[in-house]
Amino acid sequence: MGDKATLFETGRFVQPSSGEDTETPDETGEIADEAAEELRQRLAAEAGDVEAMSVLGAMLLRRGDLDGAEPHLRAATAAGDRAAANNLGVLLHQRGYADEAAGWWRIAAVAGSTAAAHALGRHHRERGDEPAAEYWLRQSAEQGHTLGAYALADLLEHRGDAGSERWMRVAAERGHREAAYRLARALDRHAAREPGGDSGAQVPEEAEQWYRQAAARGHRRAALHLGTILERRGELKEAGRWYLTSAKDGEARAACALGFLLRDAGDTDNAAVWWLRAAQDGDGNAANALGALHAERGETQTAERWYRAAMDAGDVNGAYNLGLLCAEQGRTPQAEQWYRRAAYAGHREAANALAILLLRGGDETGAEPWFSKAAEAGSVDAAFNLGILHAGRSEEQAALRWYERAAAAGHTEAALQVGMARLRDGDEQEAERHLRCAAGGGSAEAAYRLATVLDARRPPEPAHELGEPVHLPSECEEWYERAAHQGHRRAQVRVGMLAAARGDVVEAARWYREAAEAGSRNGAFNLGLLLAREGSEPEAAVWWKRAADAGHGRAALRLALVYARRGELAEGQRWADRAVSLGPASVAERAERLRDALRQELSA
């Protein structure tokens, strides 16, 4: 005689079947068929049919009619029906008689009921008797009971037994969705522990398959993980579908993730709907997202309310964001309060922000420990800021250590500082490596300094066979140009000089003018030279005057010569005096001779 009921606590009962399950056309028909079946079984039971007693008892138990089910189950159990013994155990357990239930489960399990063996194993585990639990769960699992396999896997995993994965896989292969999810998680974690693996590494294909299987059976956390995998891979449309499935089943993290996906697609209104749903379910990340959305719209009071909700949900980012909000509003004491709260909770960027706030207030002593705490926790910005702090005290070695730490984590400005330090030490190879990192990260200063390093190594221009130089674009020119396009004034002057050397006067003038208008005195001086050579001395004088006013000695000397040629001797003498004071030595010497000559001319 086969089992009539499934396992303890499943809420599902298996009836004897004469064929494949069929779907009834409507609910009314199902109810009518069930009533007819119950009447048929009741008549058979009253006639002494043991199997009918067992089936009727199971039907009544499933309906919740414990009083009606018990006599039929006891009668069938007394006649040796193991399914009835199992169901009697279920009934007694529901009534709160766990020990008596276990007695009937044992009888059914010994008679071969896999459902009863599973229920008995669960009973022993709840009471802390793991050896007995393992024995009965193994009996159930080895006889093909899916829930028994899962429960055994769970027990073995709890004990750290390597055999847990095998039984988890068995349960998953038999369609247990929680087992499929947990197997996927185990494979995922195992891949992350592999040498070179990390939490952001690609999920193994087998793990993804199990996530997909569990998600397809309605496991909301599996759907969340599957959405995350697909989003990371760039398959956003399918990721969104799984996030939606999970969110509709009540997974707040999926609703939050769906909100971010919609925001990135430009649909902030629908993003806010899902963030609201997640935040109301206690998701701090979603509350923070709502706060940021309202802050961007200028709705600071609403933003503050959501940041506080995030904080109440246990998300320390809420306190940090409150600090940022207060700082933007100029509420420094409140900003410090929230930064401190987040920093004490371990928020590294809050610790860095607090240190900056204290430093701006003149409290360097109070700022340094927070910079250190943030840096030790992995804040790249804090490591760079510590470098600046030590450099300001002329503690070059300490500064370099923190710059190197930040540079190793990809901080562009830190890489520039390390490159410059290595240049000062004469380690050109290391300097070049760090300057390349910084320049590649977008630093115009690093691009310019890298160009100067490469420029110093550049061999002389090869000569054409007729004696004319042949220009071959070099790497250093590419870096000069990159820095120039980013607005670096010295790079602009250098690019102009290179263009002038090639005879490209228009290009040279363009770069000199751009540098000069940005405030470069060398750019203004060189532009003046170019214009003077082209016969535009009046305009050249305008640029030389701008350069001289900014402290360029050679420009002042040029102006002195211009005014001397025009016969404006007093003005010439004034600019010669200025050139003498500005230098350099060679310019000052020439300017002094010119000044003396003009003085003699004026006194003659």
Q: What residue type is assigned to position 324 of the chain?
A: L
Instruction: With beta carbons less than 8 A apart as the criterion, state whether 155 and 125 touch.
Output: yes
Long-range residue pairs from 106-111, CB within 8 A, at least 24 positions apart, any chain: 107/77, 107/82, 108/82, 108/83, 109/136, 109/139, 109/140, 111/80, 111/82, 111/85
Q: What residue type is assigned to position 575 of the chain?
A: W
Please indicate, yes or no, whether the overall pTM of this predicted structure exceeds 0.85.
no
pLDDT tens figures, 526-543: 999 999 998 889 999 999
Is residue 4's pLDDT more than 70?
no
Spatial neighbors of 45 by CB under 8 A, at least 6 apart, are 52, 53, 56, 72, 75
Which position has the higher pLDDT, 294 or 22? 294
The percentage of residues in the chain with a pLDDT greater than 90, rounded to a whole number, is 78
Is residue 6's pLDDT more than 60?
no
Give the phi and the psi of residue 117 in degrees, each rounded to 5: -60, -40
Query: Is 469 in a helix, a strand, or coil?
Result: strand
How high does pLDDT run on average in the chain? 89
Helix axes 348-360, 317-328, angle to 10 degrees: 30
CA distance 403 to 421: 10
Spatial neighbors of 398 by CB under 8 A, at least 6 apart, are 390
Is residue 513's pLDDT more than 90?
yes
CA distance 341 to 338: 5
The percentage of residues in the chain with a pLDDT greater than 70, rounded to a whole number, is 91
Query: Is 510 in a helix, a strand, or coil?
Result: helix
> What is the three-state SS of 163-174?
CHHHHHHHHHHC
* Predicted pLDDT at 37: 87
Cα–Cα distances in Å, from 126 out to 98, 120, 129, 461?
11, 10, 8, 86
CA distance 160 to 542: 83
pLDDT tens figures, 330-357: 999 999 999 999 999 999 999 999 999 9
